[in-house]
């Protein structure tokens, strides 16, 4: 009998604790029913791209001696590849020497012209000699300008031995290897700006009259969802597909280049309706319902009829009003009149 006493005490203590745990009110998350503009919509596929995605090419015929690593972050103007520049340095030196020579000739002829003009005032020089020197000076100045232009070409060639980033971004692909001989227009490196993103989609022509620049549309995929504003609309439909192109600004902190997304495109004029989050709907054999929170921290099951759906919200008809709080997380095991513990309200 003495050996059974501790076990009986443990059982007597455990049973009340189990009962308390069993009847603790379920934890839920709520949101608010609101009046909002909704319209019938259709989902269309789209792709997240960068507005600045370039394949940088060589402008010269030369050997590639250096190229940035894949994944390197560069700023506008930074060098992403470098070509062998020995030949172009020599051409620049040659062009500079030609400029110096022509400048020396111009300087001499200007001095000579001044001397002849002074002698001409004293009738000590022939007019033909003065005219010839004037003509020679004009030709020398022209030759000097040509030499300066040739120097400019040589300097440009020297400058373009370094391929520079036209915008800040990330090197995503090396299209050539060090040591390869490049021709003009050979692609060398791919540069992408991950901060300037947009969504490109082709939508049915039936939706073009219900959207405008600046409108915010819902976008989503299997991993995340969000909103994006329409940046531009190309309202010219393809006669075969009956589709047109639309582009939306995308948040670089949410989306990544190359992601596939779905856009919710309106197909009719929006109207103001009472709407709840789609997550509030409880679909059972007897129909759709939501659980409305009461002042006593309990819930009431309200049968509803669903209407328009757009994005994360859906129109409902039933004994609900704007401002009512409905359960959006934890509604699966609820019953009418059950007490709950509200963890948070999404709409607050």
Query: pLDDT digit string (tens) for 170-193?
Result: 999 999 999 999 999 999 999 999
The whole-angstrom separation of Cα 280 and Cα 38 is 17
- Rounded Cα distance between 145 and 150, Å, is 9
pLDDT(280) > 60: yes
- Taking CA atoms, 69 is separated from 66, 175, 183, 185, in Å, by 10, 11, 21, 21
Residue of 49 and 114 predicted with greater confidence: 49
Provide the 3-class DSSP secondary structure of residue 139: helix
At 71, list the tokens. 């994944």
Strand boundaries in 176-252, DSSP class E: 181-182, 187-192, 197-204, 216-220, 225-234, 243-250
Least confident of 7-16, 179-188, 221-230: 7-16
Share of the chain above pLDDT 70, in %: 91
Taking the C-alpha atoms of residue 311 and residue 261, their distance in angstroms, rounded to an integer, is: 13
Structure tokens given for 113: 């012209």
Per-residue pLDDT reduced to its tens digit, 291-308? 999 887 899 999 999 987
State the helix-helix crossing angle for 86-121 and 127-159, rounded to 10 degrees: 160
Question: H or E segment at 84?
Answer: none
- Which domains, from first to last, does the chain contain? 25-38+271-345 (2.40.420.20), 41-51+196-266 (2.40.30.170), 55-84+161-193 (2.40.50.100), 85-159 (1.10.287)
Give the per-residue pLDDT at 22: 54
* Alpha helices (runs of H) in the chain, residue ranges in sequence order: 5-22, 86-121, 127-159
Q: Above 70 in pLDDT, residue 17?
A: no
| Per-residue pLDDT at 141 | 95
Token digits for 212? 């405008």
Q: Is the dihedral of CA 43, 230, 271, 287 positive or negative?
A: positive
Q: How confident is the model at residue 348 (pLDDT cuts 50, 70, 90)?
A: low
Residue 91's pLDDT is 95
Handedness of CA 327, 330, 334, 339 (dihedral sign): negative
Question: Which has the minimum average pLDDT: 2-16, 25-39, 50-64, 131-145?
Answer: 2-16
What b-and-e string marks burial along 225-240, b requiring 16 or more CB atoms within 10 Å of the CB?
A: eeebebeebeeebeee
Residue 44 and residue 247: Cα distance in Å, rounded?
A: 12
Q: Is the pTM of this model over 0.85?
A: no
Mean pLDDT estimate for the chain: 87
pLDDT tens by residue, 255-270: 999 999 999 888 888 7
Strands 27-32 and 325-329: antiparallel
- SS3 category, 346: coil
Residue 334 φ then ψ, to 5°:
-85, 160
pLDDT in tens, 308-331: 777 678 889 988 999 999 999 988
Q: Rounded to whole angstroms, how far apart are CA atoms 126 and 172?
A: 73
Residue 162's Cβ-count burial label (10 Å; 0-12, 13-18, 19+) is middle
**pLDDT above 90 (res 162):** yes
């Amino acid at each position: 009998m003495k050996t059974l006493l501790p076990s009986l005490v443990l059982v007597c203590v455990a049973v009340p604790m189990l009962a308390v745990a069993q009847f603790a009110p379920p934890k839920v998350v709520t949101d608010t029913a609101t009046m909002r503009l909704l319209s019938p919509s259709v989902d269309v596929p789209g792709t997240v791209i960068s507005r600045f995605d370039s394949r940088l090419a060589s402008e010269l015929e030369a050997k590639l001696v250096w190229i940035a690593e894949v994944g390197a972050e560069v700023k506008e103007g930074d060098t992403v590849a470098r070509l062998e520049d020995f030949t172009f340095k020599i051409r620049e030196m040659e062009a500079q020497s030609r400029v110096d020579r022509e400048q020396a000739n111009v300087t001499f002829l200007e001095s000579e012209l001044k001397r002849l003009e002074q002698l001409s005032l004293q009738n000590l020089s022939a007019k033909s000699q003065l005219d010839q020197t004037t003509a020679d000076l004009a030709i020398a100045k022209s030759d000097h300008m040509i030499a300066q232009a040739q120097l400019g070409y040589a300097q440009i060639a020297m400058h373009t031995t370094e391929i520079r980033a036209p915008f800040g971004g990330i090197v995503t692909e090396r299209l050539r290897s060090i040591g390869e001989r490049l021709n003009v227009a050979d692609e060398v490196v791919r540069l992408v700006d991950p901060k300037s993103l947009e969504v490109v989609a082709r939508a049915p022509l039936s939706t073009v009259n219900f959207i405008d620049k600046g409108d915010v549309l819902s976008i989503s995929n299997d991993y995340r969802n969000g909103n994006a504003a329409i940046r531009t609309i190309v309202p010219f439909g393809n006669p075969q597909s009956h589709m047109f192109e639309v582009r939306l600004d995308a948040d670089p902190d949410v989306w990544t280049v190359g992601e596939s997304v779905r856009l919710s495109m309106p197909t009719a004029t929006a109207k103001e309706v009472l709407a709840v989050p789609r997550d509030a709907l409880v679909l059972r054999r007897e129909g759709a319902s939501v659980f409305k929170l009461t002042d006593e921290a309990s819930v009431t099951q309200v049968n509803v009829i669903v209407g328009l759906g757009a994005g994360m919200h859906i129109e409902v008809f039933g004994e609900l009003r704007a401002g009512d709080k409905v359960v959006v997380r934890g509604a699966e095991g609820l019953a009418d009149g059950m007490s709950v513990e509200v963890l948070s309200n999404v709409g607050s």
